[in-house]
Amino acid sequence: MENTEEAKAFLPSPVGATTNEQSRPKCKARKFLQRVTLSVLLALVAYNSVHIWRPRQQSTDAAYGITSMASGCPQVDALRPSKHQEVWSEVTKEIHTEDFRNQAVQWLSGAVQIPTESFDQMGPVGQDPRWDAFAPFHAYLETSFPLIHTTLKRTEVNTYGLIYEWVAAEDNFLKPILLAAHQDVVPVAPTTVDQWTHPPYSGHYDGQRVWGRGSNDDKSGLIGILTAVETLLKSGFKPTRNLVLAFGFDEETSGLQGAGELYKVLEQKYGKDGIAMVVDEGMGYSEQYGTYIAGPGIGEKGSLNVQVEVKAPGGHSSVPPAHTSIGVLSALLVHFEQNPFEVTLTRDQPIYSTFQCIAEHAKDVPKDLRKIIEKSAKSDCALKKLGSIVLEDNLIKSLVGSTQAIDMIQGGVKSNALPEQAWAVVNHRISVTSSVAELKARDTKLLEPIAHKFNLSYNAFGDQLTEEGASSRGSLVISDISRGGLEPAPVTPTSGDEAVAYRVLSGTIKAAFNAYRGVDGDASDIVVAPSMMSGNTDTRFYWNLTRHIFRYSHQNGGKNDNPLSQGIHTVNERIEVDAWLEMIQFYTTLILNADESTDL
């Protein structure tokens, strides 16, 4: 994940000062729109998308009604456990005690103190000794959470992958829910250690925050889930629906050896579509335009790494050709950057619905901005104007469309020898409305004129498009080095009969938000608007287990704050303990709500 700088965009004035009718827009604005700041909105929209529904009842088994057909972003009521109300009330009270806070902080701090770094291009488990760092972490979990390790079934997969199963007291046909997190953390660069306020593996607690690598991403999620389960075990709760916990150990480096192997075990046991819902790490909520907005991720962009390789005859540098392989490669890369993806905001994109949610529910959205968002639902002119505003921000543009980033380059071996080979890697993130095949076709067509210009034989993704021969001055090969790439994730249903899991999650978010603040009742001051993740989580391996996958951690980002600013993947990673305790409240409420639902 990347930190997001505050961005500003302004509503442009309509073209209307000319008397030339042909130069005027097809739909006219009644007045010049005022200049407004969209910094907070743009930060939010990076994570929020798609319309949602509202059940009128608290019970997950009750009929879910639609609040208003006219609403572009209907909401659900807070969903509190009813069958398990006594357990939930007891645990909620306990979470607010000083003893619970101290114990939870001790668990998280201790987990952070064990470095579990994963690196790119690590060898297989058992061959690369760097994986051995996870053994002490497993021992720590076993010591710290004794009730879990004496009650739940623990399975080790590929040595360091963990599956915990809390088996229901009686056999039933209810699908289990799966809570996921990852054990690994990104490495700490030795050159940055002195930049940390507290040492990166100290797990320091300053009375408000726990500091250290993994304190936020994602040991807060893993220890938060285990804390919720250990607390429920202590309360005497016995589930009627199986609960599965899955903890990979290489999420930060693609997840192939961790979640990629966990998935095989889970599918073999539970089958395709055998899980009711998956909840993995993701964004939380923050205050936007005077309103708290929660953003569970219901989709992720795809990805593809394309290697661009140029080969040319070698020789002595004193007799150079007009273009060396490095020169040709440079021209190719410049051509990439001069031809970015065309990005257009359309109504069928998830982020568009996010704007509708903000316009409908955020209290302090400027009048002119709200008006243009509302009009864009039916007016193509207003939609185009909205797009011209939001796509000025690179973050929003990147989430709407496919992207390209030249991240690696190499060529040449000596200063006086012509380079016989030069290559670069272009990382693509694929829009939810596109595909790996479409992106490959685009890259193939994009580089074809450059191959002709430099008289290169051209092979694109295994297809020889121009024959090699004496007339060519070298070769151009573009290839997929990401094992077929990753398609955009299937979008989790958020409406209709298939959206029960989404409604349960939505109501749980509101109930946890209320409970942590001591608020009773169905109403809530938090709005739920589904999100889209720009990166990928371990859920990329779980698509066959369920259609209902959510990337959500219920972390309070505060007022106008981006949770990514809390040192994730950089120096001074930390988490607010109050926000983390509310996450534990969320996991507890979700487990109980899901357990008493019979329509999941």
Q: What is the per-residue DSSP string for 351-374? A: HHHHHHHHHHH-TT--HHHHHHHH
Chain-centre distance for alpha carbon 339: 27
Cα separation, 38 vs 17, in Å, equals 26
Query: What's the sign of the alpha-carbon dihedral 319, 322, 328, 331?
Result: positive
Cβ burial 482-509 (10 Å sphere, 16+ → b, else e): beebbbbbebbbbeeeebbbbbbbbbbb
E strands, 102-258, in order? 153-157, 161-166, 177-182, 209-211, 243-248
The 8-class DSSP code of residue 497 comes to: G
C-alpha 117: how far from its chain's center? 20
DSSP 3-state of 195: helix
- Give every CB contact of residue 495 below 8 A, 6+ residues apart in sequence: 51, 52, 53
Amino acid (one-letter) located at 419: P
CA atoms within 13 A on the CB side of 98: 1
Residue 184 is a catalytic residue: yes
Based on the residue annotation, tell me whether 94 is a catalytic residue of this protein: no
Q: Which residues are annotated as a binding site for Zn(2+)?
A: 182, 217, 252, 280, 569
Backbone angles phi, psi at 289, to 5 degrees: 50, 45
Return binding residues: 182, 217, 252, 280, 569
Cis status of the peptide bond prior to 463, with omega within 30 of 0: no
Strand-strand pairing, 177-182 and 277-288: parallel
Strands 421-430, 177-182: parallel, antiparallel or unpaired by DSSP?
unpaired
Among 117, 184, 443, 576, the active-site one is 184
Question: How many CA atoms does the CB half-sphere of 488 hold within 13 Å?
Answer: 26
* Active-site pick, 250, 251, 309, 360: 251
The closest alpha carbon to 564, from 1, 36, 126, 97, belongs to 1
Residues serving a catalytic function are 184, 251
